[in-house]
Amino acid sequence: MSKGNATENDFVKFVANGVAMPSYGANLQINLHTDDPGEAGTAATNVATYGGYAPQSVSRDAAGWTICDGIAPYAANPAGSGFKNAATITFPERNDVGTDIIRYVSITVVATGQILYKTRLKDGGLDFDLPVSLNSTPFFPAGTLIFAED
């Protein structure tokens, strides 16, 4: 898992210079990407383009995320270094032809698209790429979308 460059810079300024962390808002945006958005990317970098796609919003609280251990089996642990979705996250159904192969998922700031965390699906608790074709509805059952500190 990794953070975007802007988020890393926010944290370094917080630790080293006492600069307050920016407000990331009450919700986080979950995005699907067909390829790595990169360290300098945003929510829009290599984002899924299928008909009907829209990023999903998840609250920044215990209803949205469960704090867990940062290594498998990712057991719930209030002192853990990771977090996983507390409820199923469902994206809109694809309503056009073609296939997008989803390889990355990012969590971003709703207002700016700044990447807070990104993960390759094969590294984030799941072990496959996610093909999305006509009438497919991508979703992540509770506890399967995992982000952790390295």
Question: Can you give the pTM of this predicted structure?
Answer: 0.90
pLDDT per residue as tens digits for the range 98-108: 999 999 999 99
Rg (CA), the chain: 15
Tallying the residues shown for the chain, one arrives at: 150
pLDDT per residue as tens digits for the range 40-58: 999 999 999 999 999 999 9
* Alpha carbons within 13 A on the beta-carbon side of 30: 23
Closest by CA to 135, choosing from 76, 50, 55, 9, is: 50
